Amino acid sequence: MRRTRLWALPEVRWAAAALALFLAGLAVQLLGGPSGLSWALYLACYVTGGWEPALAGLRALRDKTLDVDLLMVAAAIGAASIGQVMDGGLLIVIFATSGALEALATARTEDSVRGLLDLAPDTAVRVTEGGTEETVRAADLVVGDAVLVRPGEQVPADGTVVAGASEVDQATITGEPLPVDKAAGDEVFAGTLNGTGVLRVRVDRRAEDSVVARIAGLVEQASRTKARTQLFIEKVEQRYSIGMVIATVALFVIPLWLGEPLRESLLRAMTFMIVASPCAVVLATMPPLLAAIANAGRHGVLVKSAVVMEQLGTTTRVAFDKTGTLTRGTPELADVRVLPGGELTAEQVLRYAAAAEHPSEHPLAAAIVRAARARRLDLPPVGEFLARPGRGVSARVDGSLVQVGSPAALLDPGSAGDTAREVVDGIQARGHTAVVVLWEHRPVGVLGITDQVREEAEPAVAAVTELTGAAPVLVTGDNQVTAARLASQVGITDVRAELLPDDKVTAVRELQARGQRVAVVGDGINDAPALAAAHTGIAMGGAGSDLTLQTADAIVVRDDLTTIPAVIALSRRARRVVVANLVIAGSFIAVLALWDILGTLPLPLGVAGHEGSTVIVGLNGLRLLRSAAWKRAHCPPRPPLLR
């Protein structure tokens, strides 16, 4: 997938130039260099970092609105006009960097959406009515065409299997952790991976109507329609900006009209602009959020912006995906059941099954072999190995014929078969995948295979429930029985199963319609639309797809679920610090502004008060950098309960 390079974005280049010029000017100033040189560097910083927000502000004026961009540029120019050029430069750099990060995030998300469409193959093998094969572009397939999908190839279009049998890995679409057996009459999706068999598929949808194409469309639509979130101070910027401009003009014009000298009127107005400018308010807001972002990053959670860190704390409901999120997405052997009247022990059943499955590439086979090796079982050599797609494998082990496969393929009518079916039904009722083992054509055992639940899933769910006051929701493409079993293990009662990507978006929208502020946690491509539609999207970073990682607002880098309630709690603490800082900054502004309006506020004292309030709120916010702030929020994982 082609990704937009960092330096290809003009916003990044301008922000980098502004930062470099600001640091150079600061170095000259601190080292006692020529003041003219430091001023020149600072003013160059103003130009490189401020022209774009100034242009945006002028465009807003043309539309008869006044935004904080123009106000910040005006405040920076006002600071320079009374000798505080460094303060104005810092403000310019903050705004330029924020704009660059937003542009980069937008570009990377667009890259990932384009890359999603590469999941489906570019070409397909179409079978004509005469039985000949021809290679065509997948985009040229029409409804009713027959295509051939060989082992290891991707399915080129959504359709129905008309001949053949195989197992298909469709985790990208449904999130199911294990390949699904497909035979005539079963539905397959474009972009999913065929296993060991050959499938003949009738095309049911055009390329632009496929599920994978709809995923890309859902992500784009959700990104466009998702309400623009803002920091608290930005929500009142219009009224504050207009009031500040009116007050500044009035402080200049009215005293001048009453006979005050021009210099005194201008100095009073500029002093007011400095002490009333929202610099301190902006800095009162940003340091706590940035400190919280840095603290979360040190502990394995990447939060992409200050806006995201602020809105994480407003979460009232969390929706978890199943496979790869609450589970590890890796099958493991959970049960070995010996059938009554069998001639083998449980250890022998597993040993023979693992030996027969050893040459197979199927994920279930790998789980069986791993379990045998974990129990230190010696696997004998095999002969006459045969893999039958959609049915299982057979091999000669220690001179005996061993067959391992699906119950539907291996169980025949008869008393032994009836007993085996009862065991199979019991295993499947617990949400496990059942695998039957035959020894010399007689059923001797049934293996139960399941996905591995993360050890920290249960304490994480409990912590989220306590934090938000509402139990999380499970949204998964897996079947209802498996989903319900997993939910009961980790403490979730609201289960939404067998969902395609657009169904997950619908589930999120339903929760939002009830007034919930939903955070969705997922890892697969099929989760990306729901992450985009949610109030906050959180991706599992270990095995997350590119699209999911770019769509998400935050990424759990180390796949530790307990960091999710921790980062929500940290966000809530950061929001409390922001409120305290806004009270401090607002109090300073009110006192200094009233002093300037009702009396004569000396400019140096006004600047000192303004800068002092900035230092106070900055230091208060930086308290969130301490490890103690994370420890207070973090819920350490507890060992799972014995069941």
- Structure tokens, 80: 């320079």
Q: What's the per-residue H, E or C state across 358-422?
A: CCCCCHHHHHHHHHHHHCCCCCCCEEEEEEECCCEEEEEECCEEEEEECHHHHCCCCHHHHHHHH
Whether 418 is catalytic:
no
Residue with tokens 């910040």: 72
Which own/partner contact pairs does 60-68 have at CB distance under 8 Å and 24+ positions apart? 65/238, 66/238, 66/241, 66/242, 66/245, 67/237, 67/238, 67/241, 68/233, 68/234, 68/237, 68/241, 68/278
Q: Can you tell me whether residue 67 is helix, strand or coil?
A: coil
Q: How far apart are CA 122 and CA 95, in angstroms?
A: 43
From CA 214, how far away is CA 502, in angstroms rounded?
8
Region of 441 (left: φ > 0; alpha: ψ -120 to 50; beta: rest) is left
Give the type of residue at 292. Answer: A
Say which residues have a Cβ less than 8 Å from residue 465's Cβ, sequence separation at least 6: 471, 472, 491
Q: With beta carbons less than 8 A apart as the criterion, state whether 435 and 447 touch.
A: yes
Residues 6+ away with beta carbon under 8 Å from 599: none
**Rounded alpha-carbon distances, angstroms, from residue 43 to 81, 161, 488:** 11, 68, 63
Q: Give the whole-angstrom CA distance, residue 246 versus residue 275.
A: 15
* Max CA pair span of the chain: 114
Nearest CA among 595, 531, 601, 481 for reference residue 82: 601
Distances (CA, A) of 435 to 144, 287, 333, 359, 369: 35, 56, 10, 17, 13
| Annotated catalytic residue within 158, 181, 321, 596 | 321
Q: How far is Cα 37 from Cα 84, in angstroms, rounded to an integer?
A: 15
Rounded distance between C-alpha atoms, residue 453 and residue 490, angstroms: 9
Following CA atoms 77, 78, 82, 85 in sequence, which dihedral angle do they give, to the nearest 10 degrees? -40
Query: What is the number of helices (H) and of strands (E) in the chain?
Result: 23, 22
Catalytic machinery residues: 321
